[in-house]
């Protein structure tokens, strides 16, 4: 059963029994606890969902019905395949939405995947799953074809001569105590192709081959399996990725490893029944939107000397944390993003009280009197820019100007850059 829904959209029925819903929730809880690779950390956004930080926040459940929260991507749980799309760009065909989100991700830094290398202009994906499988297959095949990976792999085994170092415990247990003292248990590190990295890639390739229906993905995954034919088959989990130590010079291989980790951490694979494979990959749209806007500014507005700020604290006692933002020069400007659709019917123009206080805190801490809040534009309504001024009485009445602007990120890149250029002109 395939279902397609949008963030914070309508509920859909899964048709699951109570026991299956319980298993579904348990699986999502496990995925939630592995979400760090998406750039999510504990911050004030978590308080919206309650204090239990181990419970998943991807979906809201009401009996057998589900409703998407603020993540996009896909969930494969037993016979259910769920595609979740962003609340913006809903007027676009879903295939185009997927390509658009992958384009946004190409500007990001937190999610360490080669989105910029994906030939989006020549590919169309009807589901998120197919898009991410092709991404892995395309990048990994290209890397391993041109750069086969060999490494020193530690092996402990019995030999007829001393090789490497003597594994004393195994030698005593298996040789001296059994009267086979003429043989040795040795630990050594041969330079081999059959290593942990290649075993992980082979295992992930087999998993993805069982899920994909895309012929190009199948072709690339089969090519990978052919390249890794001399590598032993091994059941792998996310923890196996921690055993691989790559040279820092091998950045392309590091990306392959992180992609493999992402798939392994998001999957629940039954070794006994291939039909019970569960799989999901979900991305937080707050992070995607923030990373895209900041990436566009850092790439196309270098004359403003953009400087991404690390996390800081509002007080000298190092409490009340300030999230990342970006500062521009000429003139000085603090920028932050909010992935919310503004309701402009009230006098606050859809800006929450909390966001306004937060921006004022940014201004005070950064000692900059101009702040820009960027929101995503939704639908065909014309964009509006709203400016609020606040008198800082602790600074002789200096005015702090806070501008709120909507940016349509569903269009072409030139148009997105033009919109950002307009809102950066603070006047």
Q: Of 73, 123, 86, 128, which is closest to residue 409 (Cα–Cα)?
A: 86
Per-residue pLDDT tens digits for 74-96: 898 888 889 999 999 888 888 88
Distances (CA, A) of 299 to 225, 302, 362: 38, 6, 23
pTM of this structure: 0.78
Give the separation between CA 60 and CA 399, rounded to whole angstroms. Answer: 42
Walk along the chain (427 residues) and give the pLDDT tens digit of each residue.
888 999 999 999 999 999 999 999 998 988 888 765 544 444 444 444 455 677 889 999 999 999 999 999 989 888 888 999 999 988 888 888 998 998 898 888 776 665 555 555 456 677 888 888 998 999 899 999 998 998 887 788 898 888 888 888 888 998 888 889 899 999 987 888 899 999 999 999 999 998 898 999 999 999 999 999 999 999 998 899 999 988 888 888 988 998 898 888 776 554 444 445 688 888 899 989 999 999 999 999 999 888 876 566 655 656 566 665 788 888 888 999 999 988 777 788 888 888 888 888 878 777 888 999 999 998 766 667 888 888 866 656 678 889 999 999 999 999 999 999 999 986 5
Q: Of 180, 183, 179, 185, which is closest to residue 164 (Cα–Cα)?
A: 185
Say which residue the tokens 């089969």 belong to. Answer: 222
The 10 Å Cβ neighbour count of residue 39 is 18
Output the six-digit token pair for 273. Answer: 């029944």
Provide the angle, in degrees to the nearest 10, between the axes of the packed helices 128-146 and 215-227: 30
Give the separation between CA 321 and CA 365, rounded to whole angstroms. Answer: 11
* pLDDT value of position 227: 94
Give the separation between CA 104 and CA 341, rounded to whole angstroms. Answer: 18
* pLDDT value of position 188: 81
String of DSSP letters for 152-168: E--EEEEESS--SEE-H
DSSP at 198:
H
| CB neighbour list of residue 315: distance below 8 Å, 6 or more residues apart | none
Return the beta strands (E) in 78-146 as ranges.
Answer: 80-85
* pLDDT value of position 122: 52
DSSP at 406:
E
Q: Are 374 and 293 in contact (CB under 8 A)?
A: yes
Say which residue the tokens 């075993």 belong to. Answer: 199
* pLDDT value of position 42: 45
Give the separation between CA 341 and CA 321, rounded to whole angstroms. Answer: 25
* pLDDT value of position 323: 66
* pLDDT value of position 270: 44
* pLDDT value of position 391: 81
Per-residue pLDDT tens digits for 338-376: 999 887 777 888 888 888 888 888 787 778 889 999 999
Q: Are 218 and 133 in contact (CB under 8 A)?
A: no
Provide the angle, in degrees to the nearest 10, between the axes of the packed helices 251-265 and 128-146: 150
- HSE-up of 406 (CA within 13 Å, CB side)? 21
* pLDDT value of position 249: 85
Q: Are 405 and 373 in contact (CB under 8 A)?
A: yes
* Maximum alpha-carbon separation in the chain: 91
Distances (CA, A) of 312 to 155, 226, 265, 319, 332: 46, 49, 30, 9, 19
Give the separation between CA 131 and CA 74, rounded to whole angstroms. Answer: 10
User: What is the number of helices (H) and of strands (E) in the chain?
Assistant: 11, 21
Q: Are 285 and 7 in contact (CB under 8 A)?
A: yes
Residue 155, φ and ψ in degrees, nearest 5:
-130, 135
Output the six-digit token pair for 177. Answer: 């105590």
Give the separation between CA 307 and CA 288, rounded to whole angstroms. Answer: 19
């Amino acid at each position: 059963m395939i279902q397609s829904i949008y963030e914070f959209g309508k509920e859909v029925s899964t048709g699951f029994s109570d026991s299956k819903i319980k298993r579904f929730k348990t699986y999502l809880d496990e995925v939630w606890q592995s979400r760090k690779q998406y750039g999510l950390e504990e911050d004030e956004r978590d308080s919206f969902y309650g204090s239990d930080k181990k419970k998943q926040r991807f979906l809201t459940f009401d009996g057998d019905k589900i409703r998407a929260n603020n993540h996009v991507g896909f969930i494969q749980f037993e016979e259910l395949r769920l595609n979740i799309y962003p609340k913006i760009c809903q007027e676009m065909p879903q295939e185009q939405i997927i390509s658009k989100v992958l384009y946004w991700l190409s500007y990001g830094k937190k999610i360490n995947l080669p989105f910029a290398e994906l030939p989006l202009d020549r590919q169309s994906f009807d589901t998120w799953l197919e898009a991410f499988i092709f991404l892995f297959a395309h990048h990994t095949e290209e890397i391993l074809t041109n750069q086969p990976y060999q490494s020193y792999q530690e092996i402990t085994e019995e030999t007829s001569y001393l090789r490497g170092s003597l594994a004393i415990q195994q030698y005593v247990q298996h040789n001296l105590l059994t009267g086979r003292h003429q043989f040795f248990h040795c630990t050594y590190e041969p330079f081999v192709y059959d290593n942990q990295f290649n075993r992980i890639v082979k295992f992930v390739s087999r998993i993805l081959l069982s899920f994909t229906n895309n012929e190009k993905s199948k072709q690339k995954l089969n090519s990978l399996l052919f390249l890794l034919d001399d590598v032993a088959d091994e059941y792998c989990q996310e923890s196996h990725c921690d055993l691989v130590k790559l040279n820092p010079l091998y950045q392309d291989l590091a990306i392959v490893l992180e992609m493999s980790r992402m798939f392994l951490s998001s999957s629940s694979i039954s070794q006994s029944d291939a039909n019970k494979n569960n799989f999901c990959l979900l991305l937080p749209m707050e992070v995607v939107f923030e990373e895209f806007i900041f990436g566009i500014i850092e790439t196309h507005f270098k004359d403003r000397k953009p400087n991404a700020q690390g996390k800081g604290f509002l007080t000298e006692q190092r409490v009340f944390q300030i999230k990342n933002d970006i500062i521009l020069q000429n003139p000085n400007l603090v920028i932050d993003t909010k992935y919310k659709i503004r309701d402009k019917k009230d006098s606050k123009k859809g800006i929450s009280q909390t966001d306004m206080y937060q921006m004022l805190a940014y201004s005070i801490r950064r000692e900059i009197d101009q702040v820009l809040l960027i929101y995503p534009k939704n639908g065909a309504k014309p964009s509006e820019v709203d400016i609020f001024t606040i008198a800082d009485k602790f600074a002789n009445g200096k005015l702090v100007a806070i501008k709120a602007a909507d940016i349509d990120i569903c269009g072409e890149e030139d148009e997105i850059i033009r919109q950002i250029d307009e809102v950066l002109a603070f006047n």
